[in-house]
Structure 1
Amino acid sequence: MLKLNAVRPFNIFSKLVIALLLVMIPIYGISLYMNQTAEENVHNELSQSVVSSVHFYLSSFEAEMQRLMRLNKELIFDDEFQKIRTISDAMDDYTRSQTILSVKNKLHLLKTSSSFVDDVKVYIPALARGIFANSFDNHIPDDELGVLQKSLSQYGTPFTFWNNRLLLSEVYPLPMYHLETSIALGVVLSKEQIQHSLAQISQVKDSGASFINLKQKWIVTDGKSNEPILSALKEFVSEPRFKDKASGQESVTVRGVKYLFTFEYSKLLDTYLTVYVPEDQVLGPLGKYRTLFWLLSLMSTVVIIAFSYWIFRLIHQPLRRLITSFRKVEKGDLQVEIHHHHQDEFYYLYEQFNAMVRQLNLLIQEVYEERIRSQQSELKQLQSQINPHFLYNSFFILQGLVRMNDNLSAEKMMQHLGDYFQFITRTGTEMVTLEQEVSHAQSYMEIQSMRFFRQIEVDWGSVPELYKTMQVPRLFLQPIIENAYVHGLEDKAEGGRLIVQFAENNDYLQIVVEDNGDNLHDDTLASLHNQLRSKQPVKESTAIFNVHRRLQLKYGEKYGLSVSRGILGGMRIELKLAYPKEDHDV
């Protein structure tokens, strides 16, 4: 019978699942790539939107500051300003007052021209007074005047942060001429308005914007920025890699939160405009699509698992049940019957399998019956094969005993011969008790003992009580003993020995027949041993092979005969019979 191989790792179920994965993985990979690409594009667009907002605001703010600077220069050289600077001492009080009011009105116009202007001040050191747009105070703070005078020369920009105020200054003459200042114009920028305009750059939650000046070390924020973020922004724009760059953008983590930092440098203001936005807020629209994508991934996984389970139930499980049933049949279980509840291909296979097992049972039964009939014919053949040589020798011995008037021995001889031929010629039963079989073998040995008087010593063991009544095949022991006489002891002139012993084991009875014959060759013993172990039919049928085959038919493959060289030097034959509780009917 062909043996079914064990289920390999790549069975049909595995191949179907792998095929499904080979289809799904590329599709999923393309979807993942498209999602990642789209997310990256949207990320870049949103990031660029922040950059554009920063650039637009800074450009607008610079344009407004340039306009104010231009107005400052025009006011410095205005006729009224020059008069009050140069000839104020020659003016009468009325003219001087009117000129001062005119200057004050022009300062007020400058102030109202821009929402970023909080106040405008003109300082005239020669007159030791000032003119202010918001008040009639004419006091000139020396420290404030000093800041206005040094702003351009010290920092290279007219913008100065002093006393928590951002000043835009214009002086005449310019510091490069190293002359004493004759007039200074200071525009006080509205910090609140700058903060308000910075807050308009990004309307995203938890975002913020600020002006950072590294040289003067001042910061103007939108009022929302906290100290850890401002410190991170200063470190960010101070990095050497941004020294010569006009703008930049990068993700920075502050206290476990990722922010998108964006900056643009203003050469006019010598200041960085910085904007920070939490990345989860910038990429907020992407979060929804990312969630949907992972939901799709989860659903795909569930579909794959469900489909795999469906394949397992529909194909693999019925197929495995069929393979398991084949293995049971392979091991000899012919009572297997499987059923399928669906009218599909497996239903047809299961029905054909059941039909095959029923047919196999029928064939095995026929073969088994044929083997029984063969066994019965072999037994009848054994019964009919009375060795003429043994018969002649027996009658010659009997004739000698009569001539010697040894009537007692002759009577015993006739009794043993009668028992022997009665047992051999009995018909109608194939099984006898072990005690009966042993008694027949002993009758045979008694006949042989009269023939080989004092030449052969026989040592009989006792039959275990438990085994005396067990049913055994008739004529299985006497042919083995006869084989010992014919092939081992017949040529022994003296000193012949024959031992028959019985030994109980856990699940079988062992019978040992051993002689000390001199005619056993190793080649003959090896050949006999191999033939007994072989499952191929033996061409020449002898008593040993007949008995071995009959015992295996009765008890199974692990029982029967085995041959070896015994400790006496002759052949040792071991017979194994099943324990009596195993009822193997022929």
Structure 2
Amino acid sequence: MIGTYTRFRYIPHEGGFLLLSRQVSIFTKIFVMVLLLLIPILILYTYSNQVSMGVVRDEIEKSSLNRLSFFLSQVDSAVNQFSKLSYTLGKEPEAVKFQTVHQSYDLFDSIKLRQTLSEKIKLQSLSNSWINEITIFSPSMEQFITSNPAAKYNLNYFQQYYSPMWGYQKKVTDFGPEYFFIRHSAEPSILFNDIAHANMIIEVAFAARNIQIMLDQFKNGGNEEPFFYHPDYEPIVTSGTDKELVGQLISRLDMKELSGTGSRTIELRNQQYVVNYAESDTLHWMLIDFLPLEEVLNPITTSRNLFYTCFTLFLVTGILSAYLLYRNVQVPVRELLKAVYQLKRGNFSARLAKRTNSEFTILFSHFNSMAAQIQELIEKVFVESIRVRDATLKQLQSQINPHFLYNCLAFIQSMAQLENKEAIIAMTQHLSKYYRYTTRLEVEQTSLRNELDVVVNYLNIHKLQLWRLDYEVIVPEAMMELEIPKLILQPIVENAIVHGIEQKLGAGLIRIEGELTDEAAILIVDDNGAGSSEQLTAQLNEDMNQPMNERKGFGVWNVHQRLIQRFGAKSGLVFSSSPLGGLRVTIKMDKHQIERGNTAYVSSVDR
């Protein structure tokens, strides 16, 4: 059919937007395929119908022209017989004697000759099925012999109407005036219609009614309307012909352009007519036949209309079926997909409206039940995760505080043995401030300013023990009010002192710096202690994300895990070489989580 296209939709997502692609549904594909199958059928049938109508029309024209030609051949054959009759009659012995009867015959012979010639004329006239008249006229005697008793001939008549070709004029018969086709011949032949020099004139005529009878037979109940036409005379039509329609047709035809045989299509009375014509070789009249094209093509038109009606009904039925399929299948499926996407985005309260009298009722009911169970389970897991986090944080805090206390008590013990009261007083003062800060377990968060104050107390305690120790705190004021977990700097500073400064002779320096970027709040702890190799640094970074074991530094690992729980997977500790020569520990805290006042749910998702 066509290639599958894809529509895109953006949905809100943590940290930006999530781009989802939605493929074209199977319903749409099937619907488009059905349309694409119907369109070629419609085009093919329309083309086939047009070809069929053209072929039928051509065949009708050919058949009609053949019939016209055959009809004209019969007319011309009959007309030629009359033409030959005048020639044959002129050669009869009696006709030859009639030319000179006034010179050498007496009255008796003359009467007998006239009687014999009259019988032959009547016999010739009766031998032909057409209504006809045969007349022999002697100009010298002004006498005539004719088969029409009602006719009257004189020299003026022949001088006026003499024609060696077939003419058309009105004659008086026993039935009244009637049009005849007339042809004359003279013995001997004359020039320029010089009737006075002719010994005998033969007139052969047949009634136009003969043509009308043949036209009636030609029509014979068909749809055609044949008629004989000459621009100088009224047309010869069949009985029952619509003369007004024939007159309109004649007015639309340019007879000067018509010659031989041919066909044309003319519109009359808001209807198409096929006009066929053929010219008579003897009479030089035009035989014209016209018939309504609609009646001829009516079976094909009826078949075409029936096909289009069925096609329309099929299309309407298909559209209705498609609509029902769309409403009862596609729409519920789409609603189900929307609900699934809502569950995927974390909206576990999404529910589907139940449908009545639909197969999707059970499916929607089960989906709502499943969503409710998932929501209930998620809420239980969410609450449980918060409780676990609180217990873990308090456990970690309780683990860090004793670790630090052991070191302080060991120092006090040493100073007591040395009877250094000032060091003991300073240590207890700093230690009391430290524990006043750490024992407030109801407050898990603190500002960076308070955390730095505790670290300074801690460093001063160690400076009492290690005189060569010095420290620097360089943190911008903009970071001082950031809320962070308690006791995340002390284990790092302790690690720098124990594993760095104490392991190297000479002056020791610990530098604490702060930096605020668009993505994170960063604290950097540098020392100029013994440092570590690249391999050991890489091992430290890897151990931070592994479960706790005996060989790991307990305090530093606890800090890393607390940062991850609090600020997400993008936060934590990173170990590297320090520009001071020792070890650098970088504390990263996701700024977005700090600003949102992070929840345990986000932490669990990120993990």
- The separation in 2 between residues aligned to 1:548 and 1:232, in whole angstroms, is 112
CA contact (8 A) 2:567 2:589 kept: no
When the two structures are aligned, how many residues end up with a matched partner? 543
CA contact (8 A) 2:272 2:293 kept: yes
Deviations 1:55-82 (A, max 9, x none): 6744653465356446545654567644
Q: Would the alpha carbon gap of residues 392 and 127 (structure 1) be closer, same or farther in structure 2, given more than 3 Å must change?
A: same
Q: Secondary structure at the match of 1:385?
A: helix
Deviations 1:449-475 (A, max 9, x none): 54555544322425548945x5x4444
One of 503, 509, 517 as aligned partner of 1:496: 509
CA contact (8 A) 2:225 2:290 kept: yes
Q: What residue in structure 2 maps to residue 560 of structure 1?
A: 571
One of 129, 154, 158 as aligned partner of 1:137: 154
Identity %: 23
Which runs of 5 or more structure 2 residues have no equivalent in the other structure?
Answer: 1-17, 170-178, 191-196, 238-245, 601-607
Q: Would the alpha carbon gap of residues 572 and 434 (structure 1) be closer, same or farther in structure 2, given more than 3 Å must change?
A: closer
- The separation in 2 between residues aligned to 1:486 and 1:236, in whole angstroms, is 127
Question: Which amino acid letter does the alignment assign opposite residue 546 of structure 2?
Answer: V
Q: Secondary structure at the match of 1:316?
A: helix
Q: Secondary structure at the match of 2:156?
A: coil
TM-score by length of 1: 0.67
Q: What residue in structure 2 maps to residue 376 of structure 1?
A: 390
CA contact (8 A) 2:496 2:527 kept: no
Q: What residue in structure 1 maps to residue 337 of structure 2?
A: 323
Structure 2 matches for 1:1-400, cutoff 5 A?
6-9=21-24, 11-14=25-28, 16-17=30-31, 50=64, 54=68, 57-58=71-72, 61-62=75-76, 64-65=78-79, 68-69=82-83, 72=86, 75-76=89-90, 81-90=95-104, 99=114, 135-139=152-156, 148=164, 168=183, 185-187=202-204, 223-226=247-250, 229-230=253-254, 234=258, 237=261, 260=274, 262=276, 273-277=287-291, 279-284=293-298, 286-386=300-400, 391=405, 393-395=407-409, 397-398=411-412
Q: Would the alpha carbon gap of residues 577 and 552 (structure 1) be closer, same or farther in structure 2, given more than 3 Å must change?
A: farther
| CA drift at 1:196 | 9.9
- The separation in 1 between residues aligned to 2:499 and 2:72, in whole angstroms, is 124
Question: Which amino acid letter does the alignment assign opposite residue 420 of structure 1?
Answer: Y
Deviations 1:375-395 (A, max 9, x none): 334324423434888556544
Structure 2 matches for 1:519-530, cutoff 5 A?
519=531
Deviations 1:400-430 (A, max 9, x none): 6668877555434323323334544554554
One of 484, 490, 512 as aligned partner of 2:523: 512
Q: Secondary structure at the match of 1:342?
A: coil
- The separation in 2 between residues aligned to 1:126 and 1:528, in whole angstroms, is 155
Question: Which amino acid letter does the alignment assign opposite residue 31 of structure 2?
Answer: V
| CA drift at 1:538 | 3.3
Q: What residue in structure 1 maps to residue 12 of structure 2?
A: none
| CA drift at 1:314 | 0.7
Q: What residue in structure 2 maps to residue 243 of structure 1?
A: none
Q: Would the alpha carbon gap of residues 126 and 395 (structure 1) be closer, same or farther in structure 2, given more than 3 Å must change?
A: farther
Q: Would the alpha carbon gap of residues 434 and 356 (structure 1) be closer, same or farther in structure 2, given more than 3 Å must change?
A: farther
- The separation in 2 between residues aligned to 1:40 and 1:545, in whole angstroms, is 94
| CA drift at 1:318 | 0.6
Q: Would the alpha carbon gap of residues 543 and 67 (structure 1) be closer, same or farther in structure 2, given more than 3 Å must change?
A: farther
Question: Which amino acid letter does the alignment assign opposite residue 315 of structure 2?
Answer: T
Q: Secondary structure at the match of 1:332?
A: coil
Question: Which amino acid letter does the alignment assign opposite residue 523 of structure 2?
Answer: V
Question: Which amino acid letter does the alignment assign opposite residue 524 of structure 2?
Answer: V
- The separation in 2 between residues aligned to 1:522 and 1:195, in whole angstroms, is 125
Q: Would the alpha carbon gap of residues 361 and 223 (structure 1) be closer, same or farther in structure 2, given more than 3 Å must change?
A: closer
Q: Secondary structure at the match of 1:139?
A: helix
| CA drift at 1:299 | 2.4
Question: Which amino acid letter does the alignment assign opposite residue 153 of structure 2?
Answer: F
CA contact (8 A) 1:501 1:512 kept: yes
CA contact (8 A) 1:510 1:575 kept: yes
Q: Secondary structure at the match of 1:361?
A: helix
- The separation in 2 between residues aligned to 1:384 and 1:563, in whole angstroms, is 24
Q: Which moved more, 1:131-140 or 1:365-374?
A: 131-140
| CA drift at 1:301 | 1.6
- The separation in 2 between residues aligned to 1:547 and 1:573, in whole angstroms, is 9
Q: What residue in structure 2 maps to residue 154 of structure 1?
A: none
Q: Would the alpha carbon gap of residues 321 and 520 (structure 1) be closer, same or farther in structure 2, given more than 3 Å must change?
A: farther
Q: What residue in structure 2 maps to residue 538 of structure 1?
A: 546
Q: Secondary structure at the match of 2:596?
A: coil
- The separation in 1 between residues aligned to 2:272 and 2:501, in whole angstroms, is 105
- The separation in 1 between residues aligned to 2:502 and 2:201, in whole angstroms, is 152
CA contact (8 A) 2:567 2:594 kept: no
Question: Which amino acid letter does the alignment assign opposite residue 352 of structure 1?
Answer: H
Question: Which amino acid letter does the alignment assign opposite residue 560 of structure 1?
Answer: S
- The separation in 2 between residues aligned to 1:172 and 1:543, in whole angstroms, is 153
Question: Which amino acid letter does the alignment assign opposite residue 234 of structure 1?
Answer: L
Which runs of 5 or more structure 1 residues have no equivalent in the other structure?
Answer: 152-158, 214-218, 238-248
Q: Is residue 583 of structure 2 the alignment partner of residue 572 of structure 1?
A: no
Q: Which moved more, 1:576-585 or 1:104-113?
A: 104-113
CA contact (8 A) 2:265 2:272 kept: yes
- The separation in 2 between residues aligned to 1:466 and 1:284, in whole angstroms, is 97
CA contact (8 A) 2:501 2:509 kept: yes
Q: Would the alpha carbon gap of residues 504 and 185 (structure 1) be closer, same or farther in structure 2, given more than 3 Å must change?
A: same
- The separation in 2 between residues aligned to 1:101 and 1:382, in whole angstroms, is 158
CA contact (8 A) 1:232 1:254 kept: no
Question: Which amino acid letter does the alignment assign opposite residue 327 of structure 1?
Answer: Y
Deviations 1:89-115 (A, max 9, x none): 445799589949986996999599888
Q: Which moved more, 1:190-199 or 1:415-424?
A: 190-199
- The separation in 2 between residues aligned to 1:35 and 1:539, in whole angstroms, is 83
Question: Which amino acid letter does the alignment assign opposite residue 538 of structure 1?
Answer: Q
- The separation in 2 between residues aligned to 1:430 and 1:284, in whole angstroms, is 96
CA contact (8 A) 1:509 1:579 kept: no
Q: Secondary structure at the match of 2:521?
A: strand
Q: Would the alpha carbon gap of residues 295 and 160 (structure 1) be closer, same or farther in structure 2, given more than 3 Å must change?
A: same
| CA drift at 1:160 | 7.3
| CA drift at 1:311 | 0.6
Q: Would the alpha carbon gap of residues 25 and 404 (structure 1) be closer, same or farther in structure 2, given more than 3 Å must change?
A: same
Q: What residue in structure 2 maps to residue 244 of structure 1?
A: none
Q: Secondary structure at the match of 2:381?
A: helix
Deviations 1:444-499 (A, max 9, x none): 3444454555544322425548945x5x4444454455555566666564463423
| CA drift at 1:312 | 0.7
Question: Which amino acid letter does the alignment assign opposite residue 23 of structure 2?
Answer: R
Question: Which amino acid letter does the alignment assign opposite residue 296 of structure 1?
Answer: C
Q: Which moved more, 1:16-25 or 1:567-576?
A: 16-25
- The separation in 2 between residues aligned to 1:412 and 1:390, in whole angstroms, is 16
- The separation in 2 between residues aligned to 1:78 and 1:414, in whole angstroms, is 174
Q: Secondary structure at the match of 2:352?
A: coil
Q: CA RMSD in A?
A: 5.8
CA contact (8 A) 1:12 1:316 kept: no
Q: What residue in structure 1 maps to residue 194 of structure 2?
A: none
Q: Secondary structure at the match of 2:323?
A: helix
Q: Which moved more, 1:323-332 or 1:265-274?
A: 265-274
TM-score by length of 2: 0.66
- The separation in 2 between residues aligned to 1:212 and 1:453, in whole angstroms, is 143
